[in-house]
Every structure is written in C-alpha cells, then in structure tokens.
C-alpha cells in the first residue's frame, strides 16, 4: 500500500487568508476586522454627535436644502440655469464650470508644455534660451498673481463694449469678453452631419486597411485622395444640394452690451490662460527630463536609418520618453484641476465659488457643502489618475516593458 499524497489545503481559503491577513494569516484577519469595526464606530459616533449638536444649536443640517430654490444668478452656465432653479442645479453648474476650465486648461498646458520642452532641447541657441526663460519666469511667480495679472492687466487694456475691437463686423473683443456669432441649426444640418460622420468612419476604415496592407504585404496604398473626397467633397455636395447646414447669428450692440451671438467671458479666458501657461512650465521640465532619459544612442540610431530629427523624435524618442513622463504629468493635471479653485479671486463661477462660496453662505450648511466639494475634487482627481494609469499601462505594454 502506497503512502497517500498529502492533500494541499483548499486553494480558496488560502488565497483569502493571504489577501486579508498578509503574512500574519488568520490572526491578521482578526486584527483587521477589529480595527475596521473600531473605525466604523468612531465614524458613527462623530456623525451622530455632530447631527445632535447641530440640532441643539438650531443649525440646519441634512441635504434637504438641495431641493430649495437658489435664487441667485450665475454668469456662465453650461446647462440652462436661472435663479428659480434648485441648489442641486447650482452644484451641477459649478462642477461643469470646474470641469470646463480644467479640460481646456489641461489641453493647452500639455500643448504649450511640449512645445517649450522641444524649444529647450533645440540645438538652436536662441530658441533654447527663450524656452529656458519661459520656464524660469513662469514657474517662479505665484499662480494667484499670474491669474490676477491676466485678469486685471489684460482686462484694463481692453475697450468698453461701445468701442469694441471688431473683426469683420462679426467678432468683437471688449472688456466683456470675446463675442462670436453663434450657429443656428438649419434643416440641412442633420444630413450634413450624417454624411460627415460616415465619411470620417469610412476614412478610418480605409486607413486601417492601408496600414495592414503595408505591414503584412509591404504594399503602399495611397489613400489621401479618397479621404479628401469623403471628408470634404461629399459634405460639400450635400451642402450644395440641401443648402447651408447652419446660419450664424451676428451679435448686435444693444444697450450696454451685445445681444445675440455667443460670448466667452474674460474670467474664463484669464483663468485658462493663467492655469495653462503656469502648468505648462512644469510640464515642459517633465517632458524635457523624459526625453533626456532616453539614451542618446536611440537618436543616433534614428539618424543612421536616415530619419529626420523630427521623425526620430516622434517615432522613437517620445514614445520611450512617455513611460517616464506620464506619472509626473498626471500630478500636473491634478494640480491644474485643483488650482482652478483660485477662480473665486476673479469671479469665475467654478465649484468653489458658486457652491462652497455662495451656496454655503446663503444656506449656512458648511459641513454638508464642504464635504460634497471635497468629494467632487477627490472624484475628479481619481478619475484623472485612473485614465492616466490606463494610458501609462498601455504605453508600457506596447513597448514590451
């Protein structure tokens, strides 16, 4: 009779034990359970104590106020809003305004940052010094000061509405912002968009077909004439047949201000410019460090293959540099989003201004409002870093690292 092999312990229990208790095993699990219960108890005590105390002091508590009408106005709203809407809608308006300035700011900061970094790395003496000057000047001045500069100094230089700078009688620049003609949809808009989208989809399909042909069989297919015909030609024909898809409403000076047209308020412009130029200085240094971290042999290999400097950078150096760039770049994106709360200094209606500012003092419910504000910033930041993590992971994977 042979000796029976010892049964291995059940895999599920083992995995669970290791996941929960680490090296300490089941003892570790017990300690963590006790710790969790204590934390939950403390949280419960604080919350229930706070609500009783607020009640005895006759301070309104709870989230009932979200349904009350806010009865104040906001000068830039991405969704329709008026004074008779609720506080909850103010909350949404604030979040959207914060997101707007963050997204636009991140876009321009990245763009300017990459350009400045490439300037600093340029072999041209003048260009690299200009890049260096930009970085040193911008990142060593306080951000609030820069935002106030863009707002007050630039605003003061602009004319009043009645003396607006006019471009073609349709675009106007004055101290109320940039006023542009706003598009009004016409019956031809639907078919026009449909044709345009179809054209873009087919072009993308063509492109992937052409790439496969190139990689698999080494055939070069010239697709740009077809793409041009699909994306520009077809929509143009549709336009000729069905008439223009949109007409533009030209702004008119009426009373104090322009009526009609769309307007970009100066607060948004000042804040976006301030945030993106400031963050760009940091991004430039991150990108420069990333590119320098790629061994110079890569650059030389590129040139020995006969690639130009630009192509080598684009195809060989930058993709490798991205691995180093992405994590600190994420930090800068998060900083920009959080710095957007300086908006309150120049009257841009972001979340901190309309929610943690106006709504807080009109309702007096500090705990609820500050907690939700923190929650929103946390959520935006976590979402940004999740997206960037996925992007970083894809880069690493595509390089087999």
- The footprint of another protein (CB under 8 A) covers 46-47, 49-50, 53-54, 56-60, 71-75, 83, 152, 155-156, 158, 160, 175-176, 254-257, 259, 266-267, 344-347, 349, 353-354, 356-358, 360-364, 366-367, 369-370
How many whole angstroms separate alpha carbon 202 and alpha carbon 302?
33
- Token pair of 62 as six digits: 């709870």
Other CB atoms within a 10 A radius of the CB of residue 242 amount to 16
Of 277 and 353, nearer to another protein (C-beta) is 353
Q: How far is the CB of 74 from another protein (least distance, A)?
A: 7
- Token pair of 4 as six digits: 């029976």
Of 169 and 255, nearer to another protein (C-beta) is 255
Of 65 and 333, nearer to another protein (C-beta) is 65
How many whole angstroms separate alpha carbon 332 and alpha carbon 310?
26
CA distances for 220 relative to 223, 227, 253, 315, angstroms: 9, 15, 56, 19
**Helix pair angle (318-339, 366-398), 10° resolution:** 180
CA 177: distance to chain centroid? 23
Of 267 and 285, nearer to another protein (C-beta) is 267
- Token pair of 377 as six digits: 């910033």
Q: How far is the CB of 66 from another protein (least distance, A)?
A: 14
Q: Is 136 exposed, middle or buried (0-12, 13-18, 19+ CB in 10 A)?
A: exposed
Q: How far is the CB of 163 from another protein (least distance, A)?
A: 10
Q: How far is the CB of 383 from another protein (least distance, A)?
A: 22
Q: How far is the CB of 368 from another protein (least distance, A)?
A: 10
Instruction: Answer for the pair 184, 246: CB distance below 8 angstroms, yes or no.
Output: yes
Q: Whose CA is closest to 25, among 41, 36, 9?
A: 9
Q: How far is the CB of 122 from another protein (least distance, A)?
A: 39
Of 176 and 288, nearer to another protein (C-beta) is 176
Of 50 and 200, nearer to another protein (C-beta) is 50
């Amino acid at each position: 009779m042979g000796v029976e092999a010892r049964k291995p312990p059940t895999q599920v229990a083992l995995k669970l034990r290791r996941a929960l208790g680490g090296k300490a095993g089941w003892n570790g699990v017990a300690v963590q359970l006790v710790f969790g219960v204590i934390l939950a108890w403390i949280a419960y005590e604080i919350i229930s104590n706070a609500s009783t105390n607020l009640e005895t002091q006759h301070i309104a508590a709870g989230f009932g106020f979200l349904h009350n009408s806010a009865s104040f106005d906001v000068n830039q709203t991405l969704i329709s809003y008026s004074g008779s809407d609720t506080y909850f809608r103010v909350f949404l308006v604030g979040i959207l305004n914060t997101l707007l300035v963050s997204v636009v700011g991140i876009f321009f900061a990245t763009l300017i940052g990459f350009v400045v970094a490439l300037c600093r790395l340029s072999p041209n003496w003048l260009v690299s010094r200009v890049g260096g000057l930009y970085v040193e000047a911008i990142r060593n001045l306080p951000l609030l000061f820069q935002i106030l500069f863009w707002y007050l100094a630039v605003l003061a230089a602009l004319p009043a509405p009645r003396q607006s700078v006019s471009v073609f009688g349709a675009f106007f620049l004055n101290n109320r912002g940039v006023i542009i003609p706003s598009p009004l949809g016409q019956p031809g808009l639907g078919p026009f968009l449909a044709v345009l989208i179809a054209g873009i989809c087919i072009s993308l399909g063509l492109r992937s077909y052409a790439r496969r042909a190139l990689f698999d069989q080494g055939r070069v297919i010239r697709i740009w004439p077809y793409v041009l015909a699909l994306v520009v030609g077809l929509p143009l024909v549709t336009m000729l047949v069905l008439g223009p898809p949109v007409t533009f409403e030209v702004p008119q000076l009426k009373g104090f201000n322009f009526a009609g047209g769309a307007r970009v308020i100066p607060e948004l412009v000042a804040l976006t410019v301030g945030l993106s130029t400031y963050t760009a200085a940091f991004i430039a240094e991150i990108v420069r460090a990333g590119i320098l971290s790629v061994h110079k042999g890569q650059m030389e290999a590129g040139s020995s293959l006969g690639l130009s400097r630009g192509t080598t950078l684009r195809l060989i150096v930058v993709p490798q540099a991205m691995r180093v760039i992405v994590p600190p770049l994420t930090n800068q994106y998060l900083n920009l989003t959080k710095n957007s709360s300086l908006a309150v200094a120049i009257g841009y209606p972001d979340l901190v201004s309309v929610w943690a500012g106006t709504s807080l003092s009109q309702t007096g419910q500090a705990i609820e409002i500050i907690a939700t504000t923190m929650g929103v910033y946390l959520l935006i930041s976590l979402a940004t870093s999740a997206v960037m993590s996925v992007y970083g992971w894809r880069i690493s994977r595509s390089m087999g690292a």
